[in-house]
Copies of this chain bind each other. A is one copy, B any other.
Amino acid sequence: MGVIRKTKAVEVLLNEFNTSDVAISAKALIKQLGDTFNKTTIYRVLDKLEDDGILHSFLGKEGLKWYAKCNGCTSKEHKDVHPHFQCLSCGRVDCLSFTVLLPQIPNRKIEVSQLLIQGKCEECFV
């Protein structure tokens, strides 16, 4: 990827992800920042941050695109494959830090896997 300039939008978006560990949907970011930045800009910055290995994205339920910080990824390789947890009560999504081991499947080659777990998060589970 090309040079990334430190613009207001990049700064603000990065800050969103640096202040907590949860994933944030593009939709939520647009709702929150849409008055300050054009939605096109937000989509493009997220895209670029993903290309640069700073964020990773995945699809949550309802087909929404979610973003979260990467750990140890580069622009060359997104090695950050882990499950995501979506709370059915409050909607919050976060990254789980364990690795799910998949069985080998005969005659198939696994390249990517996406595991979305849904239920009640720590706050909502009492």
Contacts and interface: CB of A to CB of B under 8 A. Distances in A.
A109 interface: yes
A15 interface: no
Interface residues of A, number: 31
A57 to B, nearest CB: 11
Contacts of A125: 107-109
Nearest to A116: B114
A86 B116 CA distance: 16
A77 interface: no
Contacts of A63: 59, 63-65
Given A85-B105, A98-B103, A115 B115 contact: yes
B110 A119 contact: yes
